[in-house]
Amino acid sequence: MPASGPDWWLLARQRSVVQRALRTSLLVGTILVGINHGDALLRRDCPPDRLAKIGLTYMVPYLVATFASVSTLRELGRSPMADREENGN
């Protein structure tokens, strides 16, 4: 099954997926910003290009967490356990 399409976007916009991705992005992104840009932030050296990089630093974990959640939800939907639950077993 392809990793894109209407069903992928519907799953990616589910409240639980968005909340999980935001929490992950906030935690992981903050750690990465501290590691990669902490010294510059302490010096208040924040030109527009650095701010763009900081934004991307938060965006990457959000996208990874979203992809992982959607992939898991899609896999669970195809699992034998899901088939048993649909059949009432």
Which pLDDT tens digit goes with each residue over 49-88? 999 999 999 999 999 999 999 999 999 887 665 555 555 6
The structure tokens listed for 25 are: 């992005």
Residue 24 within a domain: yes
pTM of the model: 0.78
Our count of domains for the chain comes to 1
CB 11 within 8 A of CB 17: yes
For residue 16, the surrounding DSSP H or E stretch is helix 15-42
Give CA–CA dist 74/32, Å, rounded: 29
Residue 8 within a domain: no
Range of the domain at 58: 17-71
The Cβ of residue 71 has, within 10 Å, a number of other Cβ atoms equal to: 13
Residue 61 within a domain: yes
Residue 85 within a domain: no
Q: Using one digit for the tens of pLDDT, what is the confidence trace for 19-55?
A: 999 999 999 999 999 999 999 999 999 999 999 999 9
pLDDT at 1: 46
Residue 62 within a domain: yes
Residue 84 within a domain: no
